[in-house]
Structure 1
Amino acid sequence: MESLTVVHKINIAIHVAAGSLALVVGLIAIIASKGRKLHRLTGRLFLILMSIVIITGLIGVFVFGRNTFLLVITVLSGYLAFSGYRVIKAKSNVPKFIDLGICLLSLISVSYFLYYFKSIGMIWSPVIVYSTVGYLFLMIVYDLGRYFIPTKTYANLWIYEHILKMVGAFGGLLSAFSGTVFPQYQPYSQFIPSILGTLITICFMINVSRRKKYVNVN
């Protein structure tokens, strides 16, 4: 039992360190000029750190039985980061087995969470629970439905999808961090970062839209 406690503490330390670094690197990626070397480099590093956060988070939930709500935050942030990366890599909506597989795996994970909550009762803020689960479901439904969008139409949409998902992954990670560090201010410490992420997403989308219009005019 003592050895498990030590392993659990090590897992927490790695989880916290990777999450903190991911926030710093993610912020640099957001600020850096898009398409440039620094943006691509920090973007890849953010994905690596997110992978570590996801793995250690899942270990904490399934091996050590810690905060099951972290499962949803982990799945949401991880799914958005993975899907956002796949969008910028493919730049098309041609169905791929790996994308469908991760999508269905995420759906199964969040369904398990809802079943678990129903069995034990609502013990966390309903605002956070329903908004997080609802947003993940919305993203999954969109990702399954985007394959029916005409290819020419999607060619103008993928950049917005990339922005939405990558900033969303950063916002989810920031919400988990602030909610853990400032539990006395929940649920505000959890949903305010999400609001901030939404505003950043809107600003980037408007900027991209204006740049596209400028290019088309000239």
Structure 2
Amino acid sequence: MELLEKILITSHVVTAIISLLTGLSAAFFGKKGGKLHRQVGKVYFWCMFWVFISAMLIISLIRFNSFLMVIAVFSFYMAFSGYRVITIKRTKKAAPIDWIAAVVTMGFGIVMIGMGVNYLIKSEFSSILGYLCLFFGYFTTQTGRLSYKGFKNLANAEKMWWFFAHMNAMAGSLIASITAFLVQNGEIFKIPSEMSWVLWVLPALVGSPIISYWSRKYKAQFKSQSV
């Protein structure tokens, strides 16, 4: 068991670092949709796949970690949906795996909300992890629900819906990955324990305006091209 634990944790850390580096590279270097972007994006996705699988194995076989479960499910589904939307763009139809993944993700989100409520009740509403489980649980549930809803309305989707779905999902996955890195390595930044929640929300506070900026930019660009 010690050898298995070492292998799982080491491979989890290594692929997490690679996914972080490739995610940042895909986001800020190379032309969107270009060869470099696609190749780096594939490396990012498959690294995220193993980060997710290894996290679930660590939780199931070695020790339960609610933080690891919350981040692993949320970040991987975002990467998965962002990756799959490229195929759905071509087929114009969601495959069974897309529907199943959306439903399972909604289920995990509801479980996270339940965990958050449990932590809060036990701590007399003083548990930071409880509030964070509510936060991520809500957005995980919403992400799965919006994907499910989108699959039902593909025929009426806007022309470039897939582009923004891909960008938002991959960016959301990257933000979650950065959050995991900061929280897991919080001691490096010497953040007081009562301020540890900052590491959870900082990536989203910084990343959300950037995503919004790029969304507006590309919407304006696509609009001008259609005129």
TM-score above 0.5: yes
* Correspondence for 2:73 among 72, 75, 100: 75
User: 1:118 & 1:152 partners in 2: Cα distance?
Assistant: 38
Match of 1:193 in 2: 203
User: 2:92 & 2:141 partners in 1: Cα distance?
Assistant: 19
Match of 1:155 in 2: 159
* 1:39-94 per-position Cα deviation (integer Å, ceiling 9, x unaligned): 00000000010011001111111111231221121010110100111112221763
- The 1:127/1:68 distance shift into structure 2, 3 A limit, reads closer
Q: Which moved more, 1:208-217 or 1:34-43?
A: 208-217
Q: Which amino acid aligns with 1:208?
A: Y
Q: Do the aligned partners of 1:110 and 1:133 also contact (CA within 8 Å) in 2?
A: yes
* Correspondence for 2:26 among 13, 20, 29: 29
Match of 1:174 in 2: 178
* Equivalent residues, number: 214
Q: Do the aligned partners of 1:60 and 1:66 also contact (CA within 8 Å) in 2?
A: yes
Match of 2:108 in 1: 109
User: 2:151 & 2:23 partners in 1: Cα distance?
Assistant: 28
User: 1:150 & 1:98 partners in 2: Cα distance?
Assistant: 16
User: 1:150 & 1:74 partners in 2: Cα distance?
Assistant: 28
User: 2:62 & 2:128 partners in 1: Cα distance?
Assistant: 19
- The 1:162/1:75 distance shift into structure 2, 3 A limit, reads same
Q: For residues 125-136 of structure 1, what are the structure 2 equivalents within 5 Å?
A: 125-136=129-140
Calculate percent identity across the aligned residue pairs: 23
* 1:166-197 per-position Cα deviation (integer Å, ceiling 9, x unaligned): 00000001101101101545111111112222
User: Is 1:56 matched with 2:58?
Assistant: no
Match of 1:145 in 2: 149
User: Is 1:8 matched with 2:5?
Assistant: yes
Q: Do the aligned partners of 2:55 and 2:72 also contact (CA within 8 Å) in 1?
A: yes
Q: Which moved more, 1:78-87 or 1:180-189?
A: 180-189
Match of 2:219 in 1: 209
- The 1:12/1:156 distance shift into structure 2, 3 A limit, reads same
User: Is 1:66 matched with 2:70?
Assistant: no
Match of 1:46 in 2: 44
User: 1:115 & 1:127 partners in 2: Cα distance?
Assistant: 11
* 1:148-178 per-position Cα deviation (integer Å, ceiling 9, x unaligned): 4362433332211111100000000110110
5+ residue gaps in structure 1? none
User: 2:216 & 2:180 partners in 1: Cα distance?
Assistant: 27
5+ residue gaps in structure 2? none
Q: Which amino acid aligns with 2:209?
A: L
Alpha-carbon RMSD across the aligned residues, in angstroms, is 2.0
What TM-score comes out, normalization by structure 2 length? 0.85
User: 1:22 & 1:106 partners in 2: Cα distance?
Assistant: 21
Q: Do the aligned partners of 2:85 and 2:165 also contact (CA within 8 Å) in 1?
A: yes
Q: Which amino acid aligns with 2:162?
A: W
